[in-house]
Amino acid sequence: AHHSDITNLVRDNGTPVANESVDGATCSNVLYLLSQEKVTLFFKAANRVLQRGAPLSISSMLETTPEAHADFLTSVYDETRKLEVSGQVPPGSTAILASANNRLVQQSPTFFSFSKIVEIAKANGFSVLKQPQFVYGEAGFFVVFKKN
């Protein structure tokens, strides 16, 4: 399956993913770009398509301040620039990445806590299956939820 909108999961042919038809899902580096309302809609959509007991693995940045987000993006841009200079990624990759991130962050910057994410997940039919691991100096996290 793929998605045209993370809150409205559809298959490649455009048909909706059937209720309780997915045995597991992963969401990586998306939640921090969504508003709290969209995060809630994401968990509702995941609850609809996942089978009972199915895992939902999530890794994302956990922003507490706009400055932390800017620092993270700066490090990503610096690494991308190094790869660009060495020829490991196409020319212009850093500018494309910066442009895309700037558009996304301007549309719906999210700065909320990990406990808020867990609260939203629990309110939408999930429990914590694997306790979180924090990365990037606790600016990011990895957690596995389970559909109840």
Q: Which helix (H) or strand (E) holds 54?
A: none
pLDDT tens profile 55-91? 888 877 765 566 666 676 677 778 778 888 988 767 7
The pLDDT assigned to 140 comes to: 73
pTM, to two decimals: 0.67
Q: Which two tokens stand for residue 129?
A: 């299956």
